[in-house]
């Protein structure tokens, strides 16, 4: 079975071809320009490969309610030109294949729960820290949606004492996680991209402070069995020990579980599937869409 996958990001669209054995066979990346230019290019690429089903993991917010008339739309995104865009319906109708859509982080969480760092566990939280910050949650094998879908990237945080930009840079909220800790926030605050900053730069203590607050909030409200941190910013591996230390300091011994007290380095961890979490999750969505059709 030839399955199509789409990781729809604010910067680029990653298109893949896979099969029912969870193997990714071919991949192409195109820039995220206007919907009028980007969607037809994706339709052409998938059409040439004669896919049988499509799975989409998208940036959001997105309408994930199958009963909604705008199911599969990107809704109130800050991405210019993409507000209220019928992403999934446009692809599904043009390709004439069954399709399923979820957030990019939910897709990645699903992949990590089924095949990656959280395999064999009942729950996990996947957080991507990159151009934006989002989180996907799996509980007892089910992706959590709720009223719309979780937007943990916009939780409010305590600003760092030495943060020269304590309000952050989110156009919607002052002092939220994404506005304080996403890749663009790091660049705006320090004048350089995250990967250009040396490991001993003061940026990383501040970044770890914000991400540790997020981890503490997640532990106390969601109690996931694993927290997985992915995305471009987390390619700076020296961040993990800082986050581990600061999370333990913030918890202050309140949550008494050996996974946290003795194994924080494997409890808050990097993706088991590396950079393939999103594409693999979209492939799992495509498999689900194909099964619903049959």
Residues 82 and 58: their CA atoms lie apart, in Å, by: 12
pLDDT of residue 78: 78
Query: Roughly how many angstroms between the first and final C-alpha of the chain, as a whole number?
Result: 13
Residues 177 and 215: their CA atoms lie apart, in Å, by: 11
Output phi, psi for 252, to 5 deg.
55, 35
**Domain pair 3-102+275-293 / 117-270, same fold:** yes
Residues 247 and 242: their CA atoms lie apart, in Å, by: 8
Question: Domain locations in the chain?
Answer: 3-102+275-293, 117-270
Query: Do residues 6 and 13 make contact, with C-beta atoms less than 8 angstroms apart?
Result: yes
Give residue 188's Cα distance to chain centre: 22
Residues, the chain, total?
A: 294
Query: Do residues 207 and 186 make contact, with C-beta atoms less than 8 angstroms apart?
Result: yes
Residues 15 and 5: their CA atoms lie apart, in Å, by: 6
Share of the chain above pLDDT 70, in %: 99
For the stretch 166-194, pLDDT in tens is 999 999 999 999 999 999 999 999 999 99
Q: How far is CA 69 from CA 22, 65, 86, 166, 287, in A?
A: 31, 9, 10, 40, 24
Give residue 242's Cα distance to chain centre: 21
Output phi, psi for 215, to 5 deg.
-65, -45
* CATH level 3 topology of 117-270: Nucleotidyltransferase; domain 5 (3.30.420)
- Domain 3-102+275-293: which CATH number of 3.30.420.40, 3.40.190.10, 2.40.420.20, 3.40.50.1000: 3.30.420.40
Helix (H) or strand (E) holding 135: strand 133-139
Look up residue 232 and give its two tokens: 């471009």
Query: Do residues 82 and 33 make contact, with C-beta atoms less than 8 angstroms apart?
Result: no
For the stretch 21-78, pLDDT in tens is 999 999 999 999 999 999 999 999 999 999 999 999 998 889 999 999 999 999 988 7
Q: What are the residue ranges in the chain where pLDDT is below 70?
A: 293-294
Please name every residue paired with 55 in a beta bridge, in sequence order, or none if there are none. 5, 100
pLDDT of residue 294: 47
């Amino acid at each position: 079975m030839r399955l199509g996958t789409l990781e729809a990001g604010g910067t680029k669209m990653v298109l893949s071809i896979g099969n029912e054995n969870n193997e990714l066979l071919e991949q192409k990346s195109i820039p995220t320009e206007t919907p009028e230019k980007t969607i037809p290019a994706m339709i052409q690429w998938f059409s040439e490969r004669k896919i049988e089903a499509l799975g989409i993991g998208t940036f959001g917010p997105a309408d994930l309610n199958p009963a909604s008339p705008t199911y599969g739309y990107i809704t109130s995104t800050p991405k210019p030109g993409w507000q209220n865009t019928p992403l999934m319906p446009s692809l599904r109708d043009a390709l004439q294949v069954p399709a399923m859509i979820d957030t990019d982080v939910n897709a990645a969480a699903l992949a990590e729960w089924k095949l990656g760092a959280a395999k064999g566990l009942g729950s996990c939280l996947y957080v991507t820290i990159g151009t934006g910050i989002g989180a996907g949650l799996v509980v007892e094998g089910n992706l959590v949606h709720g009223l719309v879908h979780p937007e943990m990237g916009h939780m409010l945080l305590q600003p760092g004492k030495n943060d020269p930009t304590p309000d952050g840079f989110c156009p919607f909220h002052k002092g939220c996680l994404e506005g304080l800790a996403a890749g663009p926030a790091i660049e705006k605050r320090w004048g350089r991209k995250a990967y250009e900053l040396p490991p001993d730069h003061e940026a990383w203590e501040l970044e770890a402070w914000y991400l540790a607050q997020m981890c503490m909030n997640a532990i106390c409200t969601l109690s996931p069995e694993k927290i997985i941190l992915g995305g471009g910013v987390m390619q700076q591996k020296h961040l993990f020990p800082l986050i581990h230390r600061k999370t333990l300091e913030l918890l202050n011994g309140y949550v008494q579980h050996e996974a946290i007290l003795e194994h924080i380095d494997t409890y808050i961890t990097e993706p088991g599937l590396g950079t393939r979490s999103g594409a693999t999750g979209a492939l799992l969505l495509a498999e689900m869409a194909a099964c619903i059709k049959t």
